[in-house]
């Protein structure tokens, strides 16, 4: 019998790249709170004792960048000098310029802020309509943060990574969880036996459904044997370096553009959300078991230059009919996406850790399945 394995990973909010993402999105949120029409492209670099902000911003807002950075870092858990990265003492350097007028002239007429292709994906293998390996990875990473912040496991540090491998049968149905890998930062002097016992009992058993784990499931916890030095002291971090964690864990394609620190006129972000919205509604409507949507844009041009739908031979109707229905129902211009999904709000810090998709939070409008009935009726009329 053929054995198929698929692996995805997630990281905690204290991972250096995710620290950078959260800072960038916190800056974006602060500007949108005062000026919803702010245009923001904020990149963050973090290293031992240092945060650097660079990018392009056009806004009427006045924000205290130093305070935003320090508050964000402290809220993650880097509030103690022992981590080598402490929100109360880090140096914060900023270099934010105004958006190029050459780009602005295309956005001002409601065109796309850049060229590029964006993908959205959905699968019915989980209730959230995301791949199981990614969903479990995110939930395990989130649980690491929860038990740390609630002091259920009080020796954990903010940094951590999770990886889950799922086994499928020959018909692509989920069989079991094959492997779980967790690497988590911890205080000096805590034994690995204690860490392994606590994480199995208070994280893995709480998160992973019992029927998915069997006697052959492999569990690796801190396989190097020690993880005391972590966060930006252990490795530098950069906005946008975890785009596969942010999206679908490698199942489904990626156009290459990062999300964090960008306002919704950037189609890297808004069109990726729209593509997910479309794909999720198609799967929720039971028109396909899996669906991938590609949108592509030209800078300064409002309508997408292409729309492609792939149901991986699981569709109940033709992909051409799905495309026709999608064009009828969804406004896919940048301004149409922004208005439909209400993307001028200060909602983005929440997206910057544990995935942009598969989380049914009220702010995550692209996760709604409110187009199911309209899709079905439109297709019946074609």
Q: Is residue 319 included in any domain, yes or no?
A: yes
Number of structural domains in the chain: 2
161 is in an annotated binding site: yes
Domain boundaries, position 311:
116-123+267-381
64 is in an annotated binding site: no
- Final residue before a domain boundary, out of 221, 254, 288: 221
Helix, strand or coil, per DSSP, at residue 222: coil
Q: Is residue 16 included in any domain, yes or no?
A: no
159 is in an annotated binding site: yes
CA separation for the pair 115, 135 (Å, rounded):
30
Based on the fold, state whether residues 273 and 217 are members of the same structural domain: no
17 is in an annotated binding site: yes
pTM to 2 decimal places: 0.95
> For the purposes of burial, counting CB atoms within 10 Å of the CB of 363, is it exposed (0-12), middle (13-18) or buried (19 or more)?
middle
227 is in an annotated binding site: yes
Walk along the chain (382 residues) and give the pLDDT tens digit of each residue.
Answer: 678 999 999 999 999 999 999 999 999 999 999 999 999 999 999 999 999 999 999 999 999 999 999 999 999 999 999 999 999 999 999 998 876 655 555 565 566 777 889 999 999 999 999 999 999 999 999 999 999 999 999 999 999 999 999 999 988 899 999 999 999 999 999 999 999 999 999 999 999 999 999 999 999 999 988 999 999 999 999 999 999 999 999 999 999 899 999 999 999 999 999 999 999 999 999 999 999 999 999 988 889 999 999 999 999 999 999 999 999 999 999 999 999 999 999 999 999 999 999 999 999 999 999 999 999 999 999 8
Q: Where are the beta strands (DSSP E) in the chain?
A: 4-11, 39-47, 50-58, 91-97, 116-123, 156-168, 174-186, 218-221, 237-238, 290-297, 306-310
330 is in an annotated binding site: no
Q: Is residue 182 included in any domain, yes or no?
A: yes
Based on the fold, state whether residues 288 and 217 are members of the same structural domain: no
Based on the fold, state whether residues 306 and 375 are members of the same structural domain: yes
280 is in an annotated binding site: no
160 is in an annotated binding site: yes
Q: Is residue 179 included in any domain, yes or no?
A: yes
Q: Is residue 108 included in any domain, yes or no?
A: no
262 is in an annotated binding site: yes
* Distance spanning both ends of the chain, measured CA to CA: 42
99 is in an annotated binding site: yes
Q: Is residue 283 included in any domain, yes or no?
A: yes
Based on the fold, state whether residues 292 and 364 are members of the same structural domain: yes
User: What CATH number does the domain containing 352 carry?
Assistant: 3.30.300.10
Based on the fold, state whether residues 207 and 278 are members of the same structural domain: no
Q: Is residue 42 included in any domain, yes or no?
A: no
Strands in 156-168's sheet, in edge-to-edge order, are 4-11, 156-168, 174-186, 218-221
Helix, strand or coil, per DSSP, at residue 258: coil
- Final residue before a domain boundary, out of 161, 186, 221: 221
The two structure tokens encoding residue 28: 């974006």
Q: Is residue 31 included in any domain, yes or no?
A: no
CA separation for the pair 52, 47 (Å, rounded):
9
35 is in an annotated binding site: no
């Amino acid at each position: 019998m053929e054995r198929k394995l698929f692996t995805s990973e997630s990281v905690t909010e204290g991972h250096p790249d995710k620290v950078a993402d959260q800072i960038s999105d916190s800056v974006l949120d602060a500007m949108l709170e005062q000026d919803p029409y702010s245009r923001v492209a904020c990149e963050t670099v973090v290293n031992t004792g240092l945060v650097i902000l660079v990018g392009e911003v056009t806004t009427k807002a006045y924000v205290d960048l130093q305070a935003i950075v320090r508050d964000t870092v402290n809220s993650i858990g880097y509030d103690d000098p022992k981590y080598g990265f402490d929100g109360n003492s880090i140096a914060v350097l900023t270099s934010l310029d105004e958006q190029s007028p050459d780009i602005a002239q295309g956005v001002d007429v409601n065109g796309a802020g850049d060229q590029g292709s964006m993908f959205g994906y959905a699968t019915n293998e989980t209730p959230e309509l995301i791949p199981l390996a990614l969903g479990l990875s995110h939930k395990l990473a989130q649980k690491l943060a929860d038990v740390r912040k609630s002091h259920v496991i009080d020796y954990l540090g903010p940094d951590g990574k999770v990886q889950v491998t799922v086994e499928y049968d020959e018909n692509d149905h989920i069989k079991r969880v094959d492997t779980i890998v967790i690497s988590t930062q911890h205080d000096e002097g805590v034994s690995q036996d204690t860490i392994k016992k606590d994480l199995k009992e208070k994280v893995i058993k709480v998160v992973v459904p019992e029927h998915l784990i069997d006697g052959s499931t492999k569990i690796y916890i801190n396989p190097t044997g020690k993880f005391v030095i972590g966060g930006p002291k252990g490795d530098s971090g950069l906005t946008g370096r975890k785009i596969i964690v942010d999206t679908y864990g490698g199942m489904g394609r990626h156009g290459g553009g990062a999300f964090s620190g960008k306002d919704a006129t950037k189609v890297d972000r808004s069109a990726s959300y729209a593509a997910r919205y479309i794909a999720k509604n198609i799967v929720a409507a039971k028109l396909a078991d899996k669906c991938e949507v590609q949108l592509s844009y030209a800078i300064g041009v409002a309508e997408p230059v292409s729309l492609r739908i792939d149901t991986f031979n699981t569709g109940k109707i033709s992909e051409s009919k799905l495309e026709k229905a999608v064009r009828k129902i969804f406004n896919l211009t940048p301004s149409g996406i922004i208005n439909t999904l209400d993307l001028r709000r200060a909602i983005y810090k929440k997206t910057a850790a544990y995935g942009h998709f598969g989380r049914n939070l009220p702010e995550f409008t692209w996760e709604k399945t409110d187009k199911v009935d309209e899709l079905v009726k439109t297709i019946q009329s074609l």
